[in-house]
Amino acid sequence: MSNQDTKEQKLKEVTEEEFQKSNHLEQEANETSEDTTEEDTTESEVSEDKLIEIAEVQLSKPKKGHDELVAKIDATKEKAQEVYDKYKKLDKELEEKATALVRQENNILKTTIANTLAQLKELQVEALEDENATINEIKLDNKEQLLDIKYPSKGRFSAFSFATLTTLIGVAGAFAYGTKLANIPLSLNTFLDKANWNSIALKYGELINIKDNALAGYLVVGVSSLVLGVIVYKILTILKGNKNKKYVSKLENDLNQYLSNIEQKSNSIKELIEHTDNIKLVMQKYDIILQEQNAKLKRMLFIEQPQSVEDLQKASKLEVDKTILILDELLKLMNTPVSEDIKINSESQEQLKEANSIINEVIKKLYI
């Protein structure tokens, strides 16, 4: 082998060795990067879990004092709003049903019934149910209002104001008593003279066995007055807290009564809506059958040319009687008040039952 070939062979071996080392280093770097990423991910997951755990612990801690009362009020307000929204939805539906019923009645009166009455008038038929009676709308009671819920204050501002006033009164009282200790006449000039204040402060200092030290006297007056103010502040905040508790307790009782009242009204509205739907359905039956009777009356008037009902054939007279019966029952149903407030009128229930029975019997005979 020549020297040139030997050199090329060695160069090739060195190159392959360097390439293997490079691959090995790159693989180690990738493994290290993956380990680091896994560690970072694990640490991140642990950190997030820890935060969630801390948040749950904080939320699970029982609320105290005013915060607890506010939480109860929030729950009460939420419950009241929930039932009120359901009531309003039902109330709106009832209004729509009532409007639709009146519209249907008016439409039947102006078309089908008007046609029937006109043809019966040609036959000189009288003594019908008063067709001019006012259509009775559903009379709704006073609307229910959302329960009035207010958030009570902690009373800290008013308590602080009274405490500050008490502290000032304490200072003034201490000054007045100090004038007696120092044998100084009590007057406005005495109050304005700083020397008198120092004399009084020295006397208060002597009360705690510290002589010739006005600062000690000032501290006695200031601290005692401040303590008095703090006591007043504490008493007022406690009284306010007790008052707030009574308010929340009363609010919970009011909520129970409110829920009971709303539930009763909602049930009544549901029943009235169902009753209204039944009336509309029965009136539709009457409208359709009465339209058929109108066609028969028109045929009788055109073919038989009667001057009155007495001139009709027997079969035609029976159809007239049938028409009068149907019309009479329909007008009775229309003219019967549907409700008293949101309570179904018992007369309306009875009239609906009777009207439905009659029209179903008429329909039944059509297919016999």
CB 77 within 8 A of CB 256: no
Q: Which residues form the domain of 366?
A: 65-368
One domain for residues 53 and 150: no
d(CA 213, CA 203): 9
List the end-to-end C-alpha distance of the chain, in Å, as a whole number.
125
Return the SS3 of 8: helix
One domain for residues 213 and 233: yes
d(CA 286, CA 108): 9
pLDDT at 284: 96
Q: Residue 191 is encoded by which pair of tokens? A: 């109050």
Query: Which of 13, 34, 61 finishes a domain?
Result: 61
Return the SS3 of 346: helix
pLDDT at 211: 73
One domain for residues 57 and 83: no
pLDDT at 74: 81
- How many domains does the chain contain in total? 2
pTM of the model: 0.62
- Going residue by residue through the chain, which has 368 residues, state the pLDDT in tens, using 9 for 90 and above: 444 444 445 444 544 444 454 444 445 444 444 444 444 444 444 455 555 555 454 444 444 567 777 787 888 888 888 888 898 898 899 989 988 999 999 999 999 999 999 999 898 887 565 555 445 556 666 566 766 767 677 777 787 888 788 888 888 777 777 777 777 776 666 666 667 677 777 777 777 777 777 777 777 778 888 888 888 888 888 888 788 788 778 888 888 888 888 888 889 899 999 999 999 999 999 999 999 999 999 999 999 999 888 888 999 989 999 999 999 999 999 998 888 878 888 999 999 999 999 999 999 988 87
pLDDT at 199: 75
Q: Which residues contact 204 (CB under 8 A, 6 or more apart)?
A: 174, 178, 181, 216, 217, 218, 220, 221
One domain for residues 223 and 106: yes
One domain for residues 48 and 73: no
One domain for residues 136 and 197: yes
One domain for residues 298 and 340: yes
Long-range contacts of 194-197 (CB under 8 A, 24+ apart): none
Query: Which of 61, 77, 100 finishes a domain?
Result: 61
Taking the alpha carbons of 282, 287, 288, 289 in that order, is the dihedral positive or negative? Answer: positive
Q: Residue 325 is encoded by which pair of tokens? A: 């019966």
One domain for residues 223 and 320: yes
One domain for residues 273 and 140: yes
Name residue 65's amino acid.
G
d(CA 75, CA 251): 11
Q: Which residues contact 252 (CB under 8 A, 6 or more apart)?
A: 72, 76
One domain for residues 175 and 302: yes
Q: How much is the CA Rg of the chain, to the nearest whole Å?
A: 48
One domain for residues 35 and 89: no
pLDDT at 343: 87
Taking the alpha carbons of 87, 90, 96, 98 in that order, is the dihedral positive or negative? Answer: negative
Q: What are phi and psi of 88, to 5 degrees?
A: -60, -35
Q: How many CB atoms lie within 10 A of CB 55?
A: 10
The residue written with tokens 């770097």 in the block is 29
CB 205 within 8 A of CB 220: yes
